Amino acid sequence: MEQKLQILLDTVRKLTRRGAYPNLTKVLAKSHPADIAHLFRYLDLKEQRILFNLLGDPEVSAYVLSELDHATGAQLLEQIDKETITEVLQEMPYDDAVDIIRNMPEELAEEVLQIMKDEHSDEIEELLKYGEDTAGGIMATEIFSLREEMSVKEAIEALQGAEDVEMVFYLYVTDEYNHLVGVLSLRQLLTVPPSALLKDIMTTDVISVRTHVDQEEVAQLVAKYNILAIPVVDEGNKLMGIITVDDVIDVMREEATEDIYKMAGSSDEELLYGYKSLKIARLRLPWLITNLFGGVITGYLMWLFKITLKEVIALIPFIPVITGMGGNVGGQSATIMVRGFATGRIDINTLGRVFLKELRVGMIMGVVCGCTIGLVAFFWHHNPYLGLVVGLAMVTAMTVAAAMGVMAPAFFHKLGVDPAIASTPFVQTANDITGILIYFGTATLFLDFLR
């Protein structure tokens, strides 16, 4: 399969370079929309625009845009006429169309909505009221529901007539005011007598979310209960939409990617800037500046302990070892914490157990690494006290680093600051400073034995 896609990619690039657009159009016509969408990941914006303009069929264009990130989709639509934009958006699920409209220039978005001005526009404008990362913002409003007073026979007939709706084995039941009152599976519907009423066979304990709930919390609920979809209700418990597992997978991928970028002191916005070096540098610099000042403080602390360094030159080679190992341990603990908060596996109730566990792990690793580096220091300089100082500093620094790696994300999480973006630079800087203080503090205590 990979070989087939590589051949297709090479063919598309070759025809694009030659300007052989009639041949390229024929190749695209014979390709599956999913394969065309896959190609766009490997093309620059200029090549994407050429390819997109050659698709022709609004349905294929809509499929491709649904698979791309929303900002790129908006950029591709901006280059074509507004009537064609409208045709493509009308072929897309409302939630995907809304995400693309949000990334369009405001003036263009308003013009497109004005042209659409029909039932599609009403649905889209309704979804635009919700935050982009909320349940309301990612739900599909083309849903199928049944009234609780229906018989099984009537429900099956209604089901057979349903078209163009989001439905995944679950059938949601509402009362006369469209309040969500129950759920049942297709299997239940087909294995009970036709005369049975839905209100007598449905499950009334329905797992649902409010429209304002964050998409990350939605993903956690779907993963926790192993369900294929989750209904979205408003404050009055009226059924507003449904979020299916394919949307949840996209959310999980998006959230995980965002967290990883943030922990690297970077941003997923870099993907939008392509090769614009100055803009990418501007995104990364704030976190590098944070580490830069941390380095200056570390250097200042070393200057304060210059007498200790001057007296015992042998301490110098072990400085990067102490700070480096502390940084590694702190980074590992911080990563586990950020991931735990993101998946919901760590909360205020489990924080104490996690802290003690990471503290024990840091101490065990510190003892092993401390004994190793202590022996290295002893055999290198033939001074048992130097080995003791280096070993003790390593044990203490790694234990403190593990604790710091837990406390920093927890602290930022408590403040409502995203721990993914704030923890890493803070933990790195704090561990460098504490590592130096521990190392030189220990060395100063044993200074008389080190001379």
Choose the final residue of a domain: 79, 101, 129.
Answer: 129
For 116-171, write each residue's pLDDT tens digit: 776 566 777 778 888 888 999 888 888 888 999 999 999 988 888 877 666 557 89
For 272-328, write each residue's pLDDT tens digit: 555 566 766 776 677 677 778 877 888 888 888 887 777 778 888 888 888 888 888
179 lies in some domain: yes
Q: What's the total number of domains in the chain?
A: 3
Choose the final residue of a domain: 202, 229, 244.
Answer: 244
| Residue 158, CA distances (Å) to 148, 167, 423 in order | 13, 13, 53
pLDDT of residue 232: 94
209 lies in some domain: yes
The Cα–Cα gap between 5 and 40 comes to: 12
416 lies in some domain: yes
415 lies in some domain: yes
- Do 239 and 180 share a structural domain? yes
For 78-116, write each residue's pLDDT tens digit: 888 888 888 888 888 887 888 888 888 888 888 888 887
The Cα–Cα gap between 393 and 285 comes to: 32
Whether the pTM exceeds 0.75: the reply is no
CB 97 within 8 A of CB 109: no
252 lies in some domain: no
- Do 164 and 107 share a structural domain? no
CB 159 within 8 A of CB 171: yes
CATH number for position 239: 3.10.580.10
Spatial CA neighbour of 43 closest among 70, 8, 19, 74: 8
- Do 65 and 196 share a structural domain? no
- Containing structural domain, residue 367: 270-450
- Do 294 and 221 share a structural domain? no
254 lies in some domain: no
Choose the final residue of a domain: 74, 103, 129.
Answer: 129
- Do 157 and 124 share a structural domain? no
- Do 102 and 46 share a structural domain? yes
CATH number for position 316: 1.10.357.20
- For 84-89, the CB contacts below 8 A with 24+ separation are 84/58, 85/112, 86/112, 86/115, 86/116, 87/58, 88/58, 88/61, 88/62, 89/62, 89/116, 89/120, 89/124
DSSP string of 217-261?
Answer: HHHHHHHHHT-SEEEEE-TT-BEEEEEEHHHHHHHHHHHHHHHHH
For 19-47, write each residue's pLDDT tens digit: 888 888 888 888 888 888 888 878 888 88
214 phi, psi to nearest 5 deg: -65, 140
- Do 200 and 153 share a structural domain? yes
250 lies in some domain: no
- Do 277 and 240 share a structural domain? no
CATH number for position 59: 1.25.60.10
N- to C-terminal Cα separation, the chain: 68
- Do 150 and 47 share a structural domain? no
pLDDT range class, residue 73, cuts 50, 70, 90? confident
- Do 276 and 403 share a structural domain? yes
The Cα–Cα gap between 374 and 369 comes to: 8
441 phi, psi to nearest 5 deg: -65, -45
53 lies in some domain: yes
- Do 442 and 309 share a structural domain? yes
Q: Which residues of 183-202 are buried (b: 16+ CB within 10 A; e: fewer)?
A: bbeeebbeeeeeeeebeebb
Q: Residue 425 is encoded by which pair of tokens? A: 């630079």
- Do 372 and 428 share a structural domain? yes
